[in-house]
Each structure stands twice: as C-alpha cells, then as structure tokens.
Amino acid sequence: MPYPMMSLIRKYTPTVTYLLTAMALSTGVCRAAVENTPTGLMCELMAHPERTAITDSQPDFSWVVNSPAKNELQTGYQILVASSESKLNANTGDLWDSGRVASSQSVAVEYKGAPLQAGASYWWKVRTFLKSETPSQWSAPQQFHMHEEIDADIELSGKQGDVLPNRYLPVSEERKAVKFEKVADGHFYYDFGKAAFGTVTLKIDSPVAANIEVHLGEEKAPKKERVNRKPGGTRRYRVMTVPVKKGLGTYTVKITPDKRNTGGAAIKMPPSVGEVMPFRYCEISESPAELKIDSVVMVAVHYPFDEDAASFTSSDETLNAVWDISKYSIKATSFCGVYVDGDRERIPYEADAYINQLCHYGTDREYTLPRYTHEYLIMNPTWPTEWAHHSVLMAWADYEYTGDKESMARYYEDLKAKTLHELARADGLISTSNIPEEVFKKIHIDKLRDIVDWPKGERDGYDLKPINTVVNAFHYRTCVLFAKMAKALGEDADAAEFEKKAAEVGKMINEKLFDTKRGVYIDGEGSKHASLHANMWPLAFGLVPADRIASVTKFVKSRKMACSVYGAQYLMDGLYLAGEDDYALSLLNSKEKRSWWNMIREGSTITMEAWGNQFKGNQDWNHAWGAVPANIIPRRLMGVTPLEPGFGRIEIKPQVGSLRSGSLKTPTIRGPVYVSFNQKPEGAFALTVNIPANTTAEVYVPIRDGYNVVHMDGKPVEGEVDGEFLRISGVGSGEHRFLSSKP
C-alpha cells in the first residue's frame, strides 16, 4: 500500500533518517510504524495554532491515533515540545519530553514542561504506542505561538482585532459565477450559485474613467434573471458606486455598512477582513467596458472550514438537498468568527449558538468557534429565560465533543447560576415572575422573560403562565447536566445536590403539569391548554415516564410542525429518542410549507430564520438556527453520538425509518466515523461502520420483521435486545459489517 506519511517524513526528517526509513519499509515493523503515525494534531483545540496566539500557559494537546489493524487501542504516548523546529526534528524536547506515558488518553493532554514564555513560538509532536508496543513514527511537527499575555482572561467584548486569541481570523475564498448574462449595453448579470457573506472584485479594462454601479442581493427578482432590488424583510440588497480609472484595473467593492448590524451589541468584523454582506446575485450597470463571466469574482468570507470533514448521501434526493443546505449554512454563517443570529443584528444568542454548535460538530472537526461563542455568551447573555439555560447545554456539549474540562471548570459558578436553581419555590419548580437582584448579578444580565419559541406565532397557541412547562423542562435538563459536570470536576456535593434537584423537578412536572385524562402535558400551572411545545420538550429531555410516552408522542405527531425552525431541534430530538424515526424522517424530507425544503423552494441557499417568508415578516435568509438537519442527520438519523466525553466510547444507533440506504462521514476529535446502511423492503438490514483507533463503540443493529439474527464480519454475534435493535457492545476500531437475517 502507499505510505501516506512519506511526504511528511521527507519534509520534516533529516535526509539520512528518511533514507534509512525508506530502505527499512520492507519490514512489517517499520511499515506498521508509518501506518500508525498520529495525525490530526490540535493544540488548544486548534488544528492550525500557528495562525493565532494561545493564552493558556499549559496548553492541551490532542491527536488522532491511527492503525490499519482492527480493535486497536493506544497503550502509551510520548510528546516532545521544543523551542525550535530543528531541535524537534532532532528529537530533542528541550521544553518537555514526556517520556513514554502509559495511557490511552489522546485528547486534552495538558502540557507539563518548562514554563512557556509570552510571545514565543514553540513546536511539538507526538508518537504513540499501540497494543504491539512498537512506537509509531513521530507525527509531523506543529507550531504554536504564545500570546503576549499568558493566562490572561479571554477577550469577550465582541471587539475583533487582527489577532483573535485561541481562535482564527475569518478567511476568504474566491468563487466564479455559475451563470452570466449581458442584459444590455453596460449592464451585466452574475449568479454565483450560492449566497455567501463577502464582497466582489471587479476586473475591468475601461476606456474612460467612470462610476460603475454594483448591485448585490440575496434574492432573484420575480420572473427576471436580475437582483431583486426590493426583496422585503431583512433579505439583503445593496447598490454601491465604484469609481474606476481609465485602463486595466482590479477593484474590490467596499461594502457600505448597515447601522443596525455594525453598532451597539453587534459583533464587529476584524479590520483586516472588512465589511461584508450576504449575496448570491450581482448586477453591474453603467459599465463603459464589455465584461465577461470571469470579470467579476465573489470573495466569500467564513471561518476556516474543512469541506471534506463530513459528508452524507442517501437514497432520498430531498433529504440530500436538505443536508447540503444545512451543512453549507454552517460554513457560510461563520463569517464573523462568532456565531451570530444572521445579518439583521449580528448578535450572538444562546439558543441560536447551541444549534449552531451541534451542527458545527456534525460538519467539521472544529471546536474553537463554538467554545468562544459559548464563553462570550456566558458573560454577554441575552434576555430569554430559556436562553440562560442554553449556556448549560452548550457547556455540556463542549465537554462531550472535546473531552476537555477546562471551559466548564473556568465558568463553573456561572453555569451553576444559569440553571436558575435559585428561582425555585418549595416544590422545586421555577418562575421568573419575581427575580432577586443577586440572581441577575450572577447570570450577568438585568432582565429575563420566558420566550418558549420565536416568533410568537410559532408557539402553537401556548398559554404562558408564571409556572411554565417549557421553562421548567429546561430547568430539569440543566440540573441533570450540571450534576454531571460537577461530578466530572470532582464537586461531589454539588453533584448530589443537583441530582436531587433534578429528581424533584421531574417529579413535580409529572405531577402538576400533566393532564392524566388526556395523557398530555399542559402549558403551565393553571392552564388547560396543551401545545406541541409543552410536550416535545419533556420528550426531548427524558422527562416522560415510559407509560406516558405513547400518549405524548401521539399528541406531538398530531401537531405536526407547529413550531419554529428553532423548536424543530427539540421536536426532532424528542421524536428520535421516542423511537419515532419514520415520522421524524417524514419531517426531514417534507415538502410542506413548514419544511427545510421550503427554504430551498423559496430561493435561499442558506437556511432561513423561519420556514418561509410568510412565517416572519422581517426574517433573514442566513440563519444557522434553521440548519438543524446538519446535526440531526449525523446524531439521530445515522445515530453517531459520544457515550463518554471526547468520544472514547461511541454510540452508533441508526434510526433511518423507511430510508433505503445512506452513507455518512462525521468528524470526531479522535478521527472520522463512517456509517453506511442498506435495508431491504422485507426487513433485512446491512450496516457497515468504520471506527477510529483508540475508541470502542456500542452498535445498534435494527432487527425488524423477524430479521433478528445478526452477523458481524461474517460470524454470528450475540448482543442485548433493546426494542427493535440488537445492541452489540465493545466493538473495536476499524471496519465492521453487520447483517440482520431471519433464523
């Protein structure tokens, strides 16, 4: 087989060593050492730490363990950190040589060497030991820079200079038009295929000095191949005048700022990047010269994004299109270097950010942008009650996907306050009707108001009461998660206290906010109204007792998609957790007006703030909280989730409904997970998984219609029956094939 690390060995290893290695590749030991070389290095969760500066005096290191062998685990590692690349290439760790550490840990390994100096640059690499105890080749070196202020508080003001500590500056890429038309003399039309935040460059050989008009917009004019100059709502259109000189020249259009999204609490673009706007279409008018298709180029701005980190395709073309728009939306809306609510305000909001975070984890091996946004929102929160709760959800998701405790440890007391446990009355239920001043101080805001869903018309007639079912479902969930965080951090007293609080809240919700005659949750204490929202959140948060799941899911299904694109996150979570995968699939690939397909049908290439223009008068066409399928497809439909923080153990539980086939690549901090399936109409199910080294998985194989005998890699395998699945524990790394059949 080819040697994928050879180019790296050639680049970073002295010539003699390289030649000796090449000569020795005929031996199995050396071949294995090369194949097992660690890749995917991260310093402080950054795959490219050389692009920025690190503030932590003891940065954390992570890497991907590699092996072509099945069932492979890391038994040890050795890290070298050096003050120069030449020393590292000579295998000298003058700052830190960890020696062989007997450990399977490959994520969030803390630096324990000599003090690192502010403003200095360093290099590190790692090699691993697997079950054979033969050391791998050293990884390629990775450079990292220390900030001028080590261990300083992270800048969380929203101001962005030309160096963003612990994260990256947005980058730009040039895109050519996919369609070009000469409309009239001096008038040209460009369609770039997909919308993006950015600007355009214009290359023109002008016979005279002139002022050219550049029209940019998100929406095509009705019945015309032109930019819609009156799109309505906050869908974007702007015209800018560009003075051009006589002769050949290239001009970058300077976007005129919008006062609403460039002032106040809005996140400011870094000066080196400049102002941007979302657009897909461009018209050039008043041009004194003939233009061609390559005369105008889109300059798209976004956070660094690895297009190859994730992929999904299936037998359903509608579902594929929904995945594509959702995945692309995560890239396109990252233009600020912070998750924002779209272009209208460019303000981070907790609920938006949580959905964005989960979707980013599903589409790229990238953790710095979600972490920074989460930490920014802890200190710069927004007003909805449930948004405060989302900070706890974000902290837990950060830990689950990175295996790194540092962030939740740093903000431990803030997160405790954001459970809103201090608002509880004697029975444990909370209300925001009378909040003590000291609580506001602890959560860093001066007001809270229950929101349930947004906009208001998406609440399914919700009856807002002081004791609100949705708010208390969030309170229950945050108590559950904070107890887990406290336990992980060794805060055993808090863990016990919040486990007790969660049990009390759950009991009271089920006693006081459930209508036993109808078998549904009501909207709040004293209400007789039952909404989709009051039922889908208890379902999503594991509040519904087993004997009530049938009636609650029946009611939830009866309400269809009577929620916003934000609420859809929890509707889909709840449906999959209740085993309603067929119905969940029908919502994912629906072509109703309340559907992801409707966003495509109405003309957007980035997910919308609402299901369509009719559902929110001032909606924008660039809102990542509408990209829910980017996390639901990998997490729920294909079923890849962490069983322990950092993906040391993985659950693979495909819930594919009637979907005939599908294939997924999804990133984890330990490397990509691959899942593909094919099912026959009569019930046979074929499943293939490929699991990274240094992990194990619990694999759930559907066993429907009497197809309850499962073979793994061609041999019968035993497992535990779990509903309509056979759960097979301890599946090791590498590719494994499963097939269900009749006895």
pLDDT in tens, 334-368: 999 999 999 999 999 999 999 999 999 999 999 99
Summarize the confidence of residues 255-282 as an average pLDDT.
95
Q: Which residues of 256-282 are buried (b: 16+ CB within 10 A; e: fewer)?
A: ebbeebeeeebbbbbeebbbbbbbbbb
When pLDDT is cut at 50, 70 and 90, the band that residue 278 belongs to is very high
615-664 pLDDT per residue, tens? 999 999 999 999 999 999 999 999 999 999 999 999 999 999 999 999 99
Ranked by mean pLDDT, the top range of 33-37, 161-165, 288-292 is 288-292
Question: In the block, which residue shows the tokens 């000579």?
Answer: 90
Q: Is 486 exposed, middle or buried (0-12, 13-18, 19+ CB in 10 A)?
A: buried
Contacts of 496-499 with C-beta under 8 Å, sequence gap 24+, read: 498/419, 498/421
- Cβ count within 10 A of residue 8: 18
Sequence-distant contacts of 675-683: CB under 8 A, at least 24 apart? 675/638, 675/639, 675/640, 682/707, 683/707, 683/740
368: which strand partners? Answer: none
- CB 106 within 8 Å of CB 670: yes
Burial label for 728, CB within 10 Å (0-12, 13-18, 19+), is buried
Q: Please say whether the beta carbons of 538 and 578 come within 8 A.
A: no
User: What are residue 299's DSSP bridge partners?
Assistant: 174, 199
pTM over 0.85: yes
The C-alpha angle with vertex 258 and arms to 253 and 262, in degrees rounded to 5, equals 105
Phi and psi at 277, nearest 5°, equal -150, 155
Both structure tokens of 255: 């976007």
The token pair that represents 698 in the structure block: 């619990």
- Between 3.40.640.10, 1.10.150.120, 2.60.420.10, 3.20.20.140, what CATH number should domain 649-741 receive? 2.60.420.10
CB 398 within 8 A of CB 410: no
Where residue 501 falls among pLDDT bands split at 50, 70, 90?
A: very high
Task: Compute the distance between CA of residue 551 and CA of residue 517 in angstroms, rounded to an integer.
Answer: 10
pLDDT at 332 over 90: yes
**Residue 16, pLDDT score:** 33
d(CA 708, CA 683): 10
Distance CA 452, CA 190 (A): 42
Is residue 31 scored above 90 in pLDDT?
no
What 3-state DSSP class applies to 524?
A: strand
Q: Is the pLDDT of residue 220 over 90?
A: yes
Other beta carbons within 10 Å of 157:
10
Close Cβ partners of 36 (under 8 Å, ≥ 6 residues apart)? 65, 66, 67, 128, 130, 134, 136, 137
Reference 522, options 475, 563, 555; nearest CA is: 555
Q: Running DSSP on this structure, what letter comes out for residue 152?
A: P
Token pair 């005369």 is at which residue? Answer: 295
Mean pLDDT of 330-334: 98
- Is the preceding peptide bond at 455 cis, omega within 30 degrees of 0? yes
Radius of gyration, alpha carbons of the chain: 27
Query: What one-character DSSP code corresponds to residue 12?
Result: H
Over residues 547-574, mean pLDDT: 98
Classify domain 6-145 by CATH number: 2.60.40.10
What would the two tokens of residue 287 be? 């041009």
With DSSP H G I counted as helix, E B as strand and the rest as coil, what are the percentages for the chain, rounded to 5? 30, 25, 45
* Range 10-37 average pLDDT: 47
Q: How far is the C-alpha of 41 from the C-alpha of 8, rounded, in Å? A: 13
Q: For the chain, which residues make up each domain, given as ranges?
A: 6-145, 171-302, 649-741
For every residue of 460-491, DSSP letters joined together read: TT----SSBHHHHHHHHHHHHHHHHHHHHTT-
Q: Is the domain defined by 171-302 classed in CATH 1.10.1040.10?
A: no
CATH topology of 171-302 equal to that of 649-741?
A: no
Mean pLDDT of all residues belonging to the chain: 94
pLDDT at 732 exceeding the cut of 70: yes
Asked if residue 632 lies in contact with residue 246, where contact means CB atoms within 8 angstroms, the answer is no
